[in-house]
Amino acid sequence: MTVSRFHASLLLALVCACGAASTYAAVKRSVITIGRAQGRGDRSPLEGQQVIVQGTITGNFVDGLGGFFLQDGGDGDAFTSDALFVVPPKASKTKLRTGDTVRVYGRVFEDAGDGKSVGTSTTVLAERIEPVKPAKPVPVIPTVLTAPPDRWEVLEGMLVMIDAPLSLNGTDARYAETSASFGGRLWTPSEIFAPGSERFQEVVRFNARRRIVLDDASNRRDPKTIWYMPEGVPRSGSIASGAQGIVDQRQGSYRLQLTVPLETKPTARPAAPKVAGSLRVAVFNMENLFNGDGQGSGFPTLRGAKTPAQLKAQTDKLVLTLKGLNADIAALMELENDGYGPQSSIAQFVDALNAGGGDWRYIDAQKGPGSDEIRVGLIYRKNRVSPVGKPAVLEEGPFGARSRVPLAQAFRRGKNGQVFVVVANHFKSKGCTEATGADADQRDGQSCWNALRLDSAQRLDAWLKTDPTGQRSDKKLVVGDFNAYAMEDPVRTLRERGWKDAFTVAKVPQPYSYLYGGMLGRLDHALLSPALAKRLRGAAEWHSNADEPEAEGYAGNDIEGPWRSSDHDPMVLGFDL
């Protein structure tokens, strides 16, 4: 029996049941419907009791999940499931085949991960399994779904066929799990509505009802292939049809343990976006560009590439991404914070951009900025723009210890162009390590360190109003990875203080740059001062990364081209200056 991801309490229950077979000899019992064992609620009304159930094996996953699914002819109650999961006794020699009818004697078990909600499907820990030869075998006919059910619980353990297109929202190759949804893709609730609001909660409930995890009926980790995707894992946003399998509940979510391969219609990879305007600015989280010691050694690094060969593959993809955006300035996040000498990550990346002819330069802040392992950076094309004055950094409060230090630089296009300021940012991530007090997860949808990110946003706004570059320009562009979705406190506060969302100004529908938990949203933002907003001519994201399977990146299959050069999508903005 495979138990690597099955709750430990199941093992304890199995041990406790070893001596219970004599119960059936002492107490006369009869076969009950599976619906009676399931009950109408989230937990079985017969939990912990001995039962006898009989039905047809619809899926034998003893080798994969440690048990099989059993379904009977129903009890006539639409609010109870007619199937459950059975864990056979270790010593059982009964041959189990899909389609066979068996009678199961055992104890009802519910695995509750949090004491409130069911963690796995209602289970019978079998003490004895007897083959049955019914006079007229009746095959189990899958329940056909053309839309998500009101409650997945009433289908728990049952064989279903989904006669509706499913959007694929990302595959976790470690366990061959794919997030899918009815009626289009899923959106992070705090991308659309303020966290904690009633509209926010509506999206949470809407997502929960539409979402289903597609699984391979196995607990094995890192399978060589995902059998239900014979043509390989497609981009997120692809469409699947013909999904058929058994509704299961484990690891905190409802899922479909597939019994046949999917039919998929992959989405096409988008061409690099083009935006209007005489000057273009790109924004890109490069997902840890670390170059060892800059001389071919020093691997594996703290982050990013583990070998020189991986670094080359990573750099090649990043170069193709930046060249595809055709920008004049680029604000970069997650560069190794290793100075500005010829062996630094930023210097060698610029060298790679210029290989074969190019005029890229980088802003040298002399140190840092900041003391974190990673930093932000600014690069520009010398023949297109010129830096004006010195760079400025904000090293106080949360900046440096948590949020990365912002880097501001004024530029001018041509000799007589108007001066504008670009500010690169990277706020503290949502990871909960060391988060306490107000920075702990407040369960409002903004995860950990929201208070610190809000403080970072407030300090950033106040700092920029002091004119840190000394150029007296009212045209400012604040960009980067804010690690906050569009309606969360940090970004909403900046908008309330007068900064304009470039994608709102450009009237771009449903922008997104990141995919997490099967849901789309923006962690990466471009905010404009009112004066610069008037000069905006276009804004676009290149969905070259977030929708791509992680395995296509430089550390995996290293598929040719810019695809999956990072986990964030880059953006490009066009201005007339």
Q: How far is residue 522's CA from residue 484's CA, in Å, rounded to a whole number?
A: 7
Token pair, residue 288, equals: 């840890």
3-state secondary structure of 533: helix
Q: What is the pLDDT of residue 416?
A: 87
Residues 272 and 182 sit within 8 Å (Cβ to Cβ): no
Q: What is the pLDDT of residue 119?
A: 57
- Which domains are seen in the chain, by residue range? 8-132 (2.40.50.200), 143-265 (2.40.50), 279-575 (3.60.10.10)
- Residues near 41 by Cβ (< 8 Å), separated by ≥ 6? none
Q: What is the pLDDT of residue 112?
A: 53
Task: Give the CA dihedral 262, 265, 269, 270, nearest 10 degrees.
Answer: -140
Q: What is the pLDDT of residue 134?
A: 83
Q: What is the pLDDT of residue 92?
A: 79
The answer, yes or no, to whether the previous bond of 300 is cis (omega within 30 of 0) is yes
What b/e readout covers 196-210, taking b as 16+ CB neighbours within 10 angstroms? eeeebeebeebbebb
Residues 408 and 421 sit within 8 Å (Cβ to Cβ): yes
Q: What is the separation of C-alpha 251 from the centre of its chain, rounded to a whole number of angstroms?
A: 16
- Residues near 89 by Cβ (< 8 Å), separated by ≥ 6? 126, 127, 128, 129
- Count of alpha carbons within 13 Å of 491, Cβ hemisphere only? 31
pLDDT block averages, 10 residues each, the chain of length 577: 39 42 52 96 93 97 94 95 95 87 95 50 94 85 96 96 98 95 98 97 96 96 94 96 95 94 96 97 98 96 96 98 98 98 98 96 96 97 97 96 97 93 98 97 97 98 98 98 98 98 98 97 98 98 98 96 98 97
Q: How far is residue 297's CA from residue 306's CA, in Å, rounded to a whole number?
A: 10
- pTM of the predicted protein model: 0.91
Sign of CA dihedral 305, 309, 312, 318: negative
Q: In what order do the strands lie in the sheet with 476-481?
A: 385-393, 404-413, 419-426, 476-481, 524-528, 500-501
